[in-house]
A and B are shown apart, each in its own frame.
Chain A
């Protein structure tokens, strides 16, 4: 069975600094998708970034980028120039290609310090 592990329950970063959130996963599949979702306090979950496993190039979205290491089954999220609005729970998620089911990690709470 596939699993997603986020080993950092909580992280803090100073405003304007860079922070990296870790995620590892376990799968025997070769074709899958990985996601980072952001869930601000009392607000809905939104997609931050998505990575297709068949793509070697790391995905980037403005200040957000990933470090996808397929062999190591690692998928970390880097947030550059952190802003107060980045404070939220961040969930790493996995979906096997050809399926509709997403598997989520336990989340990392990110605090941004002014």
Chain B
């Protein structure tokens, strides 16, 4: 089945130790998103790619970076995780349709714990 896959599902890192979360998709969608979701809160968009074009949200900290080497994969790098970065990180994809995009499809998320 076509889907959005996130690895790992659970990630534990130490304060200040770089960590990379990965997302892959078999949907061949142009747009990929990274969201941060803290407990009982709305998903907060960090950035998105339209193909190779990177779009950073104005309030996304510099500590967060992303790479999209090809259509299928997208990575979230947290250079120096702080305690406040502990959250669920959601990857989503959507297909360009007309002047916007079709529905978003979400992965299961990676829960990041920072010790």
Contact = CB atoms under 8 A, between A and B. Distances in A.
Contacts of B42: 4, 91, 104-107
Contacts of A106: 41-42
A51 to B, nearest CB: 12
A100 B95 CA distance: 10
B100 A107 contact: no
B interface, by DSSP: helix, strand, loop or mixed? strand
B100 A95 contact: yes
B81 interface: no
A91 B103 CA distance: 14
Interface stretch (A39-47, A56-64, A65-73, A77-85): A39-47
A44 B106 contact: yes
B99 interface: yes
B68 interface: no
Interface residues of B, number: 24
B45 A102 contact: yes
Given A91-B42, A107-B40, A100 B31 contact: yes
Interface in B1-46: 4, 31, 33, 40-43, 45
B21 to A, nearest CB: 15
A45 B103 contact: no
Contacts of B41: 106-107
A44 B31 contact: no
B75 interface: no
A33 B99 CA distance: 12
B94 interface: yes
A25 interface: no
Interface of A: 4, 9, 33, 35, 37, 43-47, 50, 89, 91, 95-102, 104-107, 109
30 contacts: A4-B42, A9-B40, A33-B100, A35-B103, A37-B106, A43-B108, A44-B4, A44-B106, A44-B108, A45-B90, A45-B92, A46-B106, A47-B103, A91-B42, A91-B43, A95-B100, A97-B99, A97-B100, A98-B100, A99-B100, A100-B33, A100-B55, A100-B94, A100-B100, A101-B48, A102-B33, A104-B42, A106-B41, A106-B42, A107-B42
